Amino acid sequence: MQFGLFSVGDVTPDPTNRTTPSEHDRIKAMIAIALKAEEVGLDVFATGEHHNPPFVPSSPTTMLGYIAARTERLLLSTATTLITTSDPVKIAEDFAMLQHLADGRVDLMLGRGNTGPVYPWFGQDIRNGIPLAIENYALLHQLWREEGVDWKGRFRTPLQSFTSTPRPLDDVPPFVWHGSIRSPEIAEQAAYYGDGFFANHIFWPREHTQRMIGLYRERFAHYGHGTAEQAIVGLGGQVFMRKNSQDAVAEFRPYFDEAPVYGHGPSLEEFTRETPLTVGSPQQVIDRTLGFRDYVGDYQRQLFLIDHAGLPLKIVLEQLDLLGEEVVPVLRKEFAKNRPADVPDAPTHESLVAADKAAAEVAA
Amino acid sequence: MTERTLAVVAGGLRQPSSTRLLADKLAAAAGEELTRLGVTPKIELIELRDHAHEIVDNLLTGFPASTFARVVETVAGADGLIAVSPIFTASYSGLFKSFVDLLPDGTLADKPVLIGATGGTARHSLALDHAMRPLFAYTRSVVIPTGVFAAPEDWGGDEGGGRLDQRVRRAAAELAAEVARRDPATPQDPFALRTSFEELLAGE
């Protein structure tokens, strides 16, 4: 099972001292967080993609390329890559290039984006969100698998004998996750292609996540990619830890109370009860995270959000120490227990290359 | 005997509340009318004051707390709705509107709705027809013809001439008739797939 971080990349004032990092500071902080993730033994770093303040990560493959050059093992991903407003031709090329530079340590998560004004900045319309996600991905999927593509659709200029370049590393496209909070069409899309499905999980009651994952698993089996239990599932999580749980609550509360997403709404206690947010000791985080399996089944990837709401870099790095030293090693061990042998790990470049080879041998 | 459920939403803020009082009258009368039509009524009362924090939280976070989700489910699953708001500053109260804002699209479609309102003066009574009725028309519910407004004089007894009870009775009978002649409500499942992937791919 893979463990990692996903970052929104928000620039938010620190409510405890009213200081706001510059964009430069925030970008460099994201890099420091990614490097630290590898150092403490995490598997994945995923960046968001946004094209409006107060968010900085508008150019994910630039950022991930830089991180790739400074890491050895870390898997680089996104949360999410905007399949609606980005040209699928450019996504195909950017991520194939990144795949080469990172020697295959790349996958990506596609999402629609939910901010209306962003769509027209890229010549699109949010009312076409689902059709854009469906059509653009169908093209992206084809561009990574075929050369000399002839193509015609609703949303971009037609293509005649087009070959995106570079070709994917070893002719194996990066593994794709589809992220959605509550659109069954996207769970269906992930199932149709046999891709992964990632539930954001963190801002929503678990019943939502449970229903979406259940639908994805059922449709994954329907399309013949394996049993429902073999579908590739990722989940978000959101944690803040101190050795002593009261200290965690006291320190995190001012950040929670003014956080952009839920601030000035429910109390920390209510939000903790209703969503997977866990504020407390490392043991509490371990117990809560292990509980996710009870309602989504054995899954493949757990990403945590830890750098948001104005938390300073120093505190985020301390969180990473706790994750790496006390939480993730226990989660690895516990999640491995009673895990059926036929539940696969999340695909990696190596596993996809091996699967490709095996398939070619069977065919030959 | 068949059974039908009426959700009764009362938007009053005070306790005791004249809005609640009107909601109770409408619910009791509608229950009697349903019984007369051979239908067993089940009444589910929802006082918005009890859910005021959850309503604001839902507006901010985008999801209902579990206790409030059950309220939304109650409304979605009801065969008819009695919706009563106090009239503040020429319209329904903000809390009442926020509640309606939080009902997922389609929740009230084809649902018979009886609208009621209370106010500090009878001069507010037109708010029923210039505010409440268009709001529920937007939700594609079936707003029954008689809306019931209760002004202070209606609670005074003689001054209102007992006409409040007449209006309540007429509205309740109209609601009961609409509810009784329909099949039971079938709330839609937001997680259900409504198109095949082939149709999605074909841009349908």
Residues of A within 8 A of B57 (CB-CB) are 265-266, 270
Query: How distant is the Cα of B128 from the closest Cα of chain A, in angstroms?
Result: 31
Domain harbouring B83, CATH code: 3.40.50.360
- The pLDDT of A301-314, averaged and rounded, is 97
CA distance linking residue B128 with residue A350, whole number of Å: 67
Looking at the partner chain, which of A189, A204, A215 has a beta carbon nearest the beta carbon of B63? A204
- Band (A277; pLDDT cuts 50, 70, 90): very high
Per-residue pLDDT, B103: 97
**How many distinct structural domains can be found in chain B?**
1
**How many distinct structural domains can be found in chain A?**
1
CA distance linking residue A165 with residue A89, whole number of Å: 9
Per-residue pLDDT, A116: 86
Domain that holds residue B115: 2-201
Query: What are B177-180's contacts with CB under 8 Å, separation 24+?
Result: B177/B33, B177/B37, B178/B80, B178/B112, B178/B142, B178/B144, B179/B4, B179/B6, B179/B30, B179/B34, B179/B39, B179/B79, B179/B80, B179/B112, B180/B4, B180/B34, B180/B37, B180/B38, B180/B39
Query: How distant is the Cα of B162 from the closest Cα of chain A, in angstroms?
Result: 45
Residues of A within 8 A of B59 (CB-CB) are 265
* Cβ atoms within 10 Å of A127's Cβ, excluding its own: 10
Residues of A within 8 A of B56 (CB-CB) are 265
> Hey, are the CB atoms on B65 and A135 less than 8 Å from each other?
no
- Band (B160; pLDDT cuts 50, 70, 90): low
Looking at this predicted complex, what is its ipTM? 0.86
- CA distances to A53, A78, A113, B179 from A58, rounded to whole Å, are 10, 11, 13, 53
Q: Around B2, how many Cα atoms within 13 Å sit in the side-chain half-sphere?
A: 15
Residue % of chain A over a pLDDT of 90: 94
- Band (A258; pLDDT cuts 50, 70, 90): very high
Query: How distant is the Cα of A228 from the closest Cα of chain B, in angstroms?
Result: 17
- Band (A260; pLDDT cuts 50, 70, 90): confident
- Band (A115; pLDDT cuts 50, 70, 90): confident
Domain that holds residue A337: 2-363
- The pLDDT of A219-248, averaged and rounded, is 98
CA distance linking residue A275 with residue B65, whole number of Å: 9
